[in-house]
Amino acid sequence: MSSSSSSPTQTHWRIEGNHGSTPTTSSASASASQASQASSLRRLLHIKNQLFDVSKTTDDEDKQTQKKKKKKQSEYYRVVKVTGDGRCMFRSLAIGLAHVRNENIGAKEERVEADRLREAVLEQMCKSDLKRNAHPEASMAIKYENGGIGEYCKRIQREDFWGGETELLVIAKLIQRPIMVYLPARIAKNASSSSGYVCIQTYGEEFRERKSKKTGKMIERAPVRLLYNGETHYDLLI
């Protein structure tokens, strides 16, 4: 799955910086990898529970709540399969951002852009309190992590770091564009049918429209749509 950032006002997403992590011994790397994956799974479980609308209500209360909720209509898009190398969420975002700019990127550039997105989150959340304070919702999400912000900032430096809700909250602000997360309708609660895809969460909803510099009118900003498989992987919807 799962540098200095460019100005949030820029349309194109570009981050300049070095990549890579400090070499470690094989045993240390294995231990770090296991710890990272275990923590990432805990993060995914939290995200999954939130996105699937899991609550601590009784069965009767849950049934009543579900009855009141309106069924969500399925949407239909083409799925762009993304490599599952630990950075799939960042890869999906990189391809999606290129798509809304009417650009194509190759496999090498896709990986570079994915790592730049991860490093941009690292810059915002770990380099200074001032930058981190600009992302209160992301900071709150990190509280679900074992080890808190300290452990988080160690893990996000790894190239195989799994992205999730924290990173989506930050990136949506940086690119000033909505990021919509979908589930296959067949596994989503409240879906009106078993076909297509259902949006379960939108990050950066406040950036759905922006004022045109030429006309002064509000114009819609195309979102990036991610497909979450309900477990450990993201693809892109276009």
**Strand, coil or helix: what is 6?**
coil
Over residues 103-117, mean pLDDT:
96
Closest of 105, 100, 50, 63 to residue 82, by C-alpha? 105
The share of the chain scoring above pLDDT 70, in percent, equals 71
| Catalytic site residue from 115, 135, 233, 235 | 233
Average pLDDT over residues 105-110: 95
85 given a catalytic annotation:
yes
Q: Of residues 19, 53, 62, 85, which has the active-site annotation?
A: 85
Q: Residue 26 — pLDDT band, cuts 50, 70, 90? A: very low
Which of 12-26, 36-50, 83-97, 205-219 has the lowest average pLDDT? 12-26
Res 146: pLDDT: 77
Catalytic residue, from 88, 115, 135, 235: name it: 88
12 exposed, middle or buried (CB, 10 Å; 0-12, 13-18, 19+)?
Answer: exposed
Domain ranges of the chain: 31-51+70-237
For residue 144, the model assigns a pLDDT of 80
Q: Under CATH, which number does the domain 31-51+70-237 receive?
A: 3.90.70.80
For residue 192, the model assigns a pLDDT of 92
Active-site residue flag, 60: no
In angstroms, the CA 138 to CA 130 distance is 14
Report the chain's C-alpha Rg in angstroms. 18
Q: Which residues are 219's β-sheet partners?
A: 210
Inter-helix orientation angle 88-100/107-126, to 10°: 110
The 10s digit of each residue's pLDDT in 51-103 is: 444 344 455 555 555 555 688 999 999 999 999 999 999 999 999 999 999 99
3-state secondary structure of 78: coil
Catalytic, 126? Answer no
Q: Which residues on adjacent β-strands are paired with residue 199?
A: 182
* C-beta separation of 166 from 137 below 8 A: no
Instruction: Assess contact for 110 and 91: CB atoms under 8 A.
Output: yes
Contact of 180 with 92, CB cutoff 8 Å: no
